[in-house]
Amino acid sequence: MVDFGGWDMPVAFGSQIEEHHAVRNAAGVFDVSHMCVVDLIGGRTRELLSRLLANDIARLKVPGSALYSCMLNEQGGVIDDLIAYYLADDHFRLVVNASTRDKDLAWIGAHATQLDLRLLERRDLAMLAVQGPLARQRTATLLSSEAASAVMSLLPFHGAQIGDWFVARTGYTGEDGFEIMLPAGDAAKLWQGLNAAGVRSCGLGARDTLRLEAGMNLYGNDMDEHTNPLESGLAWTVAFAPTQRDFIGRAALELIRARGSEHKRVGLVLQERAVLRSHQRVIVSGGGEGEVTSGTYSPTLSRSIGLARVPISTGASVQVEVRGRMLPALTVRPPFVRHGRPLIQL
């Protein structure tokens, strides 16, 4: 067990490598109840999120649809990354990170008060993430035929209220699956039912190797309040159109975009036997340095991979300082693995 955002969480229930492969090849379940679920209620909720989010909440037109976005400060730094769900015209749900819970609630709450909106932290809910190519089918076996039909018909990045449960087709592994928000008292029974249906219990270790193979950022490692989305591989989450939408951080990002960013995010594949870790120096040919922001051993690729923030001029190869040794690494475009299939040539 380790402390994670104030929660005691298991690194693994058994073999971390086996848990990783279970998700890539079949199905695994993660307890992600440490994530902070916040409901925003009131007639001006969409107006609030149009201001708070770098992505455009107007893209959500169908109840149940979801949007991934960064929430920025005035300097364009990332306060947090989150998923927003459109539940009704006066009801949106945000899922934010555990480690940023207090500052997120304070930031959102201060802006919500100005628009006479109600902010409700859903501490009554647990959240289980069921991930893998067989995750949806195995989860559906635990539901009534009507509920199973409803969740199996969900499009990616959509969710539906099924009784007391909210089931969304999202995830953090590069695989298909569900994230299920449900009354906390129901979580243990669902977990046990999933285990009985052939879904393996998984911990933080596998969650990290899976998300890194999928090229997904971890807040506090790959971006934070001192970095912006344009240098963190998240430019796709910033909606500059329509031009009249004045989201917080827009002016700062416009200036960065006009002059050109000094840094970019790349994937790294280490060419020798060693392990990439956060904060290792990346030496760029011709001068300049970057830093590994996330690194680990990839069970799918059987080698060390990482994400790094490097000078914009960085080419196809770099040197990484690993325990005092300079080791060669290739730069690649993440993701490394998606839907169980390697996406880079080794």
Give Cβ neighbours of residue 119 (< 8 Å, ≥ 6 apart).
38, 39, 40, 41, 105, 108, 109, 112
State how far the Cα of 201 lies from the Cα of 267, in Å rounded to an integer: 29
Q: How far apart are CA 11 and CA 6, in angstroms?
A: 15
Predicted pLDDT of residue 126: 98
Residue 274 belongs to what H/E stretch?
none
Do 130 and 197 lie in one domain? The reply is: yes
What confidence score (pLDDT) does residue 7 get?
79
Domain interval for residue 238: 214-342
Structure tokens at 147: 């509920």
In this prediction, residue 346 carries a pLDDT of 74
Which pLDDT tens digit goes with each residue over 124-177?
Answer: 999 999 999 999 999 999 999 999 999 999 999 999 999 999 999 999 999 999
Whether residue 309 is found in the same domain as residue 273 = yes
Q: Residues 23, 128: one domain?
A: yes
Question: What are the b/e assignments for 95-123, b being 16+ CB within 10 Å?
Answer: bbbbbbbeebbebbeeebeeeebebeebe
Q: Are both 205 and 292 inside the same structural domain?
A: no
219 shares a domain with 207: no
Q: How much is the pLDDT for 96?
A: 98
The reply to whether 327 and 284 lie within a common domain is: yes
Q: DSSP letter string over 41-78?
A: ESTTHHHHHHHHBSS-GGG--STTBEEEEEEE-TTS-E
Give the pLDDT band (50/70/90) at residue 109: very high
Are 6 and 75 within one domain? yes
Same domain, 162 and 38: yes
Tens digit of pLDDT for each residue in 195-206? 999 999 999 999
Task: Assess whether 289 and 233 both reside in one domain.
Answer: yes
pLDDT digits 0-9 by tens, 120-132: 999 999 999 999 9
* Listed residues 212, 232, 262: the one ending a domain: 212
Number of domains in the chain: 2
Tell me the CATH number at 107. Answer: 3.30.1360.120
Do 101 and 220 reside in the same domain of the chain? no
**Chain-wide mean pLDDT for the chain?**
97
Please state, in angstroms and rounded to a whole number, the distance separating the CA atoms of residues 248 and 53. 7
Interacting residues of 94 by C-beta distance below 8 A, sequence separation 6+: 37, 38, 39, 40, 82, 83, 84, 85, 108
Domain termination residue (choose one: 161, 196, 212) = 212
Q: pTM of the full predicted structure? A: 0.96
The band of 3, judged by pLDDT with boundaries at 50, 70 and 90, is confident
138 phi/psi in degrees, rounded to 5: -70, -35
Shared domain check, 115 and 7: yes
- Give the domain CATH number at 219: 2.40.30.110
Q: 260 and 165, same structural domain?
A: no
Q: Contact, 252 vs 70, CB < 8 A?
A: no
Please tell me the distance from the alpha carbon of residue 305 to that of residue 95, in angstroms, as a whole number.
Answer: 28
Rounded-to-integer distance, Cα 197 and Cα 162, Å? 20
Name the band, by pLDDT with cuts 50, 70 and 90, for residue 2.
Answer: confident
